[in-house]
Amino acid sequence: MILYAQTSGEQSTNAGSLVPVPGLSFTLPEGVGTLALVILNFPNPYATGDANPGGVFGISVNGAVSPVTACFTNEAVPPSTARVPTTLVVGVPLVNKQQTIVGMWMGVRGSTVIIDSPATLSAIVS
């Protein structure tokens, strides 16, 4: 089984802690003794700011934020905003109840992270 969610339109955040990405969530089925391979992909994000701008990306499972994250940062005061493709891959053990998976993101050091192309959250469950 493959589960999939995708963003649309331009979105941004300057949150100082991980917050949900609108449109990136789904529910994993129940199942004991197996693993869901969850992939969070931001193909063209960029960040603005003047203190090494960047972004951190993660997931939450039933509201609990995973300690596994992906991130990027730029030089101290970048002359232009660089696109930095960022992908996170996490194995989520299935349990005997459904679990809600949510894509999360935040800015680094007060920067604003921006996406203007679709970001995706997907899972492969076998």
What pLDDT tens digit does each residue of the chain (126 aa) get? 999 999 999 999 999 999 999 999 999 999 988 999 999 999 999 999 888 899 999 999 999 999 999 999 988 777 777 899 999 999 999 999 999 999 999 999 999 999 999 999 999 998
Structure confidence at residue 64 (pLDDT): 97
- Exposed e or buried b for every residue in 33-72, given b needs 16+ CB within 10 A? eeebebebbbeebbbbbeeebbbbbbbbbeeeebeebbeb
User: Minimal CA–CA distance to 92: which of 81, 82, 100?
Assistant: 100
pTM to 2 decimal places: 0.94
- By CB atoms closer than 10 A (0-12, 13-18, 19+), residue 96 is exposed
Q: Cβ distance 103 to 40 under 8 Å?
A: yes
Q: Does domain 2-125 have CATH number 2.60.120.760?
A: yes
Structure confidence at residue 75 (pLDDT): 80
